[in-house]
């Protein structure tokens, strides 16, 4: 059997806030009606132009990761490819991201408003 990835679900303290944050970074459509998921009640979605769906699930006692502290593990993170790392950096900060690490060449680590780490990665010229 081969499964089909339908979505990536992130736990968070505020599902609507996180959906709108990723909308600011990735585009797409927040809370588009979809027979696979009900909306509201602590559940939001973001349908991306690529077809991937991100889902955000509100958790009352959510404890965010604390990168790079392994006592509060990442659990998962997203790598987002960008053509212009500096411009994407400014957009991410304006949308509500927090810069965690900019010491590596070619990528930077951030936290979204829910505390999930994600990376902006400079795409190679093709």
User: pTM for the complete prediction?
Assistant: 0.78
For residues 65 and 63, what is the distance between their CA atoms, to the nearest angstrom?
7
Question: For the domain that residue 108 is a member of, what is the CATH number?
Answer: 3.10.180.10
Domain extent, residue 32, equals 7-58
In a domain, 63, yes or no: no
12 Rama sector, left if φ>0, alpha if ψ -120 to 50, beta otherwise: beta
Whether residues 23 and 54 share a domain: the answer is yes
Residue 107 has pLDDT above 90, yes or no: no
User: Do the bridges between strand 78-82 and strand 29-30 make them parallel or antiparallel, or are there none, so unpaired?
Assistant: unpaired
Burial class, 106, CB count within 10 angstroms (exposed 0-12 / middle 13-18 / buried 19+): exposed
DSSP 96: T
Whether residues 85 and 49 share a domain: the answer is no
Question: For the domain that residue 40 is a member of, what is the CATH number?
Answer: 3.30.720
pLDDT tens column, 8-54? 889 999 999 999 999 999 999 999 998 877 787 899 999 999 989 99
Rounded to the nearest 5°, which phi and psi values hold at 111?
A: -115, 140
| Assigned token pair, 90 | 């400014």
């Amino acid at each position: 059997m081969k499964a089909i990835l339908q979505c990536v679900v992130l736990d968070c303290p505020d599902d609507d806030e996180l959906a709108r944050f990723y909308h600011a970074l990735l585009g797409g459509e927040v809370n588009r009606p979809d027979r696979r998921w009900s909306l509201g009640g602590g559940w939001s979605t973001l349908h991306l132009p690529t077809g991937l769906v991100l889902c955000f699930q509100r958790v009352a006692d959510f404890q965010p990761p604390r990168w790079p502290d392994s006592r509060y593990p990442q659990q998962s993170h997203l790598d987002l490819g960008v053509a212009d790392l500096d411009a994407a950096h400014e957009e991410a900060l304006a949308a509500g991201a927090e810069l965690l690490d900019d010491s590596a060449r070619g990528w930077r680590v951030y936290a979204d408003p829910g505390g999930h780490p994600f990376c902006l990665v400079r795409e190679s010229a093709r």
